[in-house]
Chains A and B, each alone.
Chain A
Amino acid sequence: MKHILHTLLFAFTFVIAPVAHATVLDIEEVTSEGGITAWLVQDDSVPVIAMDFGFKGAGAAQDPQGKQGLARMLSNTMDEGAGSLNGQEFQEALREKAISLGFSASRDNFTGSLKTLTKNKARAFELAELALTKPRFDKEAVDRMREANISRIKSSLAGPDWKAARLINDRAFEDHAYALNSGGTLSSLQDITSKDLQKFHGRVIGKNNLHVAVAGDISAEELAVALDQIFGDLPDVEIEEPADHDITNQGSTYHFADDIPQTVIEMMQPGISRDDPDFQKAQVMNFILGSSGFGSRLTKEIRENRGLTYGIYSYFYNLDHLNGLSVSTSTANANVPEMLTLIKAEFEKIKAEPISDKELQDAKSYLIGSLPLSLTSTDKIAGLMNSIQLDGLPKDYLDTRNAEIEATTVEDIQAISQKILDPDAFVTVLVGKAEGWEENGLETTTIKKLPNVE
């Protein structure tokens, strides 16, 4: 009942008065006989087990030329029939036992998520093993998922946010695999066959790029056996990594005309690498500058003081081969030039003037103190651990993170702002209707056709 609680209480003492060896999350490393390792946080407060697993480097960036959406399609079809069960039977087997099993493909990684009641764990492990090692890719299921994806793309086209995302990726990641549409295009999806899926599965789903995180009602011994059962038959794979990418088209502003009253704005400039020793300092800086929710400088100035938007936030966008800093917002068409000027001014201000001690203290309290709110359910804990693993970070990452945040000074924030923030380097994408933009000094390059959609 109290496993997690105890360690979390520790974390709290830590906030107030740093204590050596305090751990936020007490992670046990479990290794199976077959040599598969998993991170485990045991907790029997609810009879639930959550297992998140990820295949490093197996994401959409591996989609071959002309087959955008292949990793996504793989994630849609692996739970649509495996072993002797066809799609319908497999889904019925999950439903019968209230087991949730799903896959998803990010740009870098391919991940899976399994959640079961303790009483149904044997069946859950069996179905996960089947999906991972014996997916069928029946034509019926592949066609059905293809249609679902085509329908999703067509539906998304009604929303300007989705269009802006296509454009910023295309412009900021030009000539890189990251520029493509991980969800596929209307034509590329037509070309994806069962054979493609089979091949891709064999190429990227391996034992040697696997990371497993488990939380909930299961012992280390039981988990060790389950690991061999579920993942033991996977082969080793060789993954060719994409090249590192610098943000392209810096300083350019693009406009896609859309007959709507409000313009969606997406901006990106270079960010900071996860490996940079100043990474956590940069997080503190961004919290003050543009974190979502109330209280950031961008929200205060642009939403609360001026009423120009319902939402504005900035965030670091880190992929394995790319480091960006983004700003997302929207405003009535006529306000766009003013909005862009205000964002730039906030960037310049935090570079020019030291932040207040209170701002720094509040940011630290939030970033450290709110961590337990990310650890309130079995699946949240497993998910957080798995993303730490996939980012190549160590088991004690949350502890070192907290210590680094705690050690950040006012001077650090100014130094890191000056090092990173460069509003002139923004690639900016505007989806909306130009209203007096030119008169107000805003020059844009027009984009006529959405990239990576048709």
Chain B
Amino acid sequence: MKHTTALKALSVLALFIAMPHGTATAQSIEAERAATPEPTEERGQKVFNAETFTLDNGLEVVVIPNDRAPVLTHMVWYKVGAADEPIGTSGIAHYLEHMLFKGSKQVGGRELAPGEFSEIIRSMGGNDNAFTSQDYTAYFQSVPSEHLETVMRMEAGRMMEFVVPRDAFESERQVILEERRQRTDNDPRGQFGEQMAAAAYVNHPYSIPVIGWKHEMEVLSYEDAKGFFDKWYAPNNAILVVSGDVTPAEVFEKAIDIYGKIPKKDVPERDRTESPELNSRTLVTLDHPAIRQSVVQTLFRAPSARQSIKDARALEVLEEIMSGGPSSRLYQSLVTQQKIASGAGLSYRSTAWNDGSVYVYATPLAGQTLRGVHEALMEELRTLIKDGVTDKELQNAKNTMRDKAIYARDSLTGPAMIMGLGLSTGESIENIEYWPDEISDVTAADIQRVAKTYLNPDEFGPHPPVSGYLLPQGEKSGEE
């Protein structure tokens, strides 16, 4: 309740093939993204103790052993997502992900008919799903550990060749259009989120929603899907992550035997259009009859972990200080003391191939103007830029982050998610394993510097912040 963030409901990071149940979404994984061994000052300890191996065909294999239950999670992450789609074919990365449940090969077995992949997983007592985001597409199964080889043969077969029957293509278009209606067209908060991103990432593919624009989804073709597969789906553009009751040796051995059969491809470099230098602040306003609770937010572009690991770690600690629960700065200031909002926070996303993002947001109480609450948020950023953070705040945040981190190991799928998410967006395995040390190294000066550089409401670089007002129809925002 207290951690309700209007923003999180607005920002869709990844779309699943089926409604996930009991599986952590990319969002919640990011929230729990943290990990560390105990005594606070003990350095050099790995979080997950993962072991890695690269096959001759370029497939990177990561194993995270965890023998507490006789089950495993097997995931393949492709380093391709919606942001790699050819212009005019928005939604094809996600449509393709859906299609790959509609027929695929098996290494050392017969071809699977539409729907059969998931049926086999279920008959093993397993769950499977897949998701697509701007930068990655992942497929996963959680099954009893005796089925490791079978799921490998199936997933490797899916990687080998696009063999989806043409007649399975059309009905699935209706499914993705229904998915879009459910997420976006039925809900003004979804539409508002799309327009915020469109304004913030001008001329960059992050400005296009992962699900696609409706008019382009309606004309996507079978050839578009096959072309996207042929260009990007290859062992040398993928990461295999296995967590659970397995030994690294058996996973490597089986991976060589099964995934090793798939030839390497010439996969192009990611070539993405860039945002030009802009000089205008944007305000996105949506007043809508279905809205009763207004929301104000500002989106700043900030470095992803791939672009600057040092800045990313500083921003993560900054996020904890500003927004780590009800005793953090924004909640304390806007909700508890000023009593102008029912919720407030800051959310940083480091896992992106290009720019990451920082959202600062609040839900104003009745009687407050959006403009006024927005100013209060910006005032908190100004104070942060001017005075920095205290030693106590910094130390508390680090301790909390390191402590919380131990919880990350208390999960089967969580560690595989964290690993796949980081690696597919350009973090190194060391960044993930030694995350607690990298957090410990953040200084108060680092935090003040990143705040000043990336979260400055008054002076900005080539990508000015974008603010958004979502409000009931006819209500005044307080803007003149």
Residue count of chain A within 8 Å CB distance of chain B: 81
Q: How far is the CB of A228 from chain B (nearest CB, A)?
A: 27
Q: How far is the CB of B436 from chain A (nearest CB, A)?
A: 13
Known A306-B171, A309-B178, A376-B69: A48·B406 in contact at CB below 8 Å:
yes
Looking at A54-62, A192-200, A292-300, the stretch in contact with chain B turns out to be A292-300
Select which of B1, B178, B325, B406 is within 8 A of A46 by beta carbon: B406
Query: B residues within 8 A CB of A261?
Result: 181, 185-186
A158-B68 in contact (CB<8A): no
Select which of A47, A94, A96, A157 is within 8 A of B406 by beta carbon: A47
Chain A interface, >50% SS class: helix
- Which A residues are in CB contact (< 8 Å) with B70? 5, 8-9, 12, 372
Given known A160-B186, A262-B185, contact A305–B400 (CB-CB < 8 A): no
List the A side residues contacting B118 at CB < 8 Å: 293-295
Report A252-269 residues with CB < 8 Å from chain B CB. Answer: 258-262, 264
Contact flag A292-B335 (CB < 8 Å), given A310-B179, A368-B125: no
Task: From the candidates A94, A96, A145, A157, name the one contacting B290 in the complex (CB within 8 A).
Answer: A157
**A303 CA / B175 CA spacing, docked (Å):** 7
Q: Given A4-B69, A147-B365, A300-B115, does the pair A311, B142 have CB atoms closer than 8 Å?
A: no
Query: Within 8 Å of chain B (Cβ to Cβ): is A401?
Result: no
Interface size bracket, B side: 35 or more
Is B305's CB within 8 Å of the partner chain A?
Answer: no
A42–B38 alpha-carbon span in the complex (Å): 20
* A interface footprint on B48-74 (CB within 8 Å = 1, 0 otherwise): 000000000000000000111111000
- Whether A370 and B126, one on each chain, are in contact in the complex, defined by CB atoms closer than 8 angstroms, is yes
CB distance from A249 to the nearest CB of B (A): 25
Give the distance in Å from the alpha carbon of A374 to the alpha carbon of B335 in the complex. 37
Is the beta-carbon distance between B410 and A151 smaller than 8 angstroms? Answer: no
- Quick check: B2 and A331 within 8 Å, CB to CB? no
Contacts of A97 in B (CB 8 A): 403
B186 closest partner in A (C-beta) = A260
Contact yes or no, B18 A119, CB < 8 A: no
The reply to whether the CB of B274 lies closer than 8 angstroms to some CB of chain A is no
Note all chain A residues with C-beta closer than 8 A to B292. Answer: 154-155, 157-158
CA gap between A47 and B39 in the complex, in Å: 12
Is A442 on the interface with B (CB-CB < 8 A)? no
- Assess the A294–B396 pair: CB atoms within 8 A: no
Instruction: Kindly state whether residue B428 has any CB partner on chain A within 8 Å.
Output: no
Cβ–Cβ < 8 Å partners of B290 in chain A: 157-158, 258
Chain A residue at minimal CB-CB distance from B397:
A95
* Closest-CB distance, B267 to chain A (whole angstroms): 29
CA distance A180 to B459 in the complex (A): 51
Q: Determine the distance from Cα of A371 to Cα of B177 in the docked complex, in whole angstroms.
A: 34
A420 located at the interface, meaning its Cβ lies under 8 Å from any Cβ of chain B in the complex: no
Give the chain B neighbours of A4 by CB distance below 8 A: 68-69
A410 at the interface (CB under 8 A from B): no
Cα–Cα distance between A167 and B235 once the two chains are bound (Å)? 50
A292→B21 contact, CB < 8 A: yes
Chain A residues numbered 129-168 whose CB sits less than 8 Å from any CB in chain B: 140, 144-145, 147-152, 154-155, 157-160
Q: Tell me the minimal C-beta distance from A23 to chain B in angstroms.
A: 14
Question: Does A446 touch B at the CB level, under 8 Å?
Answer: no
The answer to whether B124 touches A311, judged by C-beta atoms less than 8 angstroms apart, is no
Interface residues of A in 346-375 (CB under 8 A from B): 361-362, 365-366, 368-375
Instruction: Verify if A115 is at the interface (C-beta below 8 Å from B).
Output: yes
- Chain A residues with Cβ under 8 A from B129's Cβ? 293
Contact yes or no, B18 A372, CB < 8 A? no
Contact present for A96 and B396 (CB under 8 Å) = yes
Interface string of A418-436 (1 = CB under 8 A from B): 0000000000000000000
Chain B contacts to A: CB under 8 angstroms: 1-2, 4, 6, 9, 18-19, 21-22, 38, 66-71, 101, 114-115, 118-119, 122-129, 142, 144, 146, 170-179, 181-182, 185-189, 245, 288-293, 295, 324-327, 332, 335-336, 339, 342-343, 363, 365-366, 396, 399-400, 403-404, 406-407, 409-413
> What 15 additional pairs, Cβ within 8 angstroms, besides A293-B122, A304-B115, A366-B125?
A5-B68, A45-B67, A120-B403, A148-B342, A151-B363, A259-B289, A262-B178, A310-B175, A310-B176, A365-B123, A369-B125, A371-B125, A373-B22, A376-B411, A377-B410
* A interface, CB within 8 angstroms of B: 1-2, 4-5, 8-9, 12, 15, 43, 45-48, 76, 87-88, 91-92, 94-98, 115, 117, 119-120, 140, 144-145, 147-152, 154-155, 157-160, 258-262, 264, 292-295, 300, 303-311, 330-332, 361-362, 365-366, 368-379
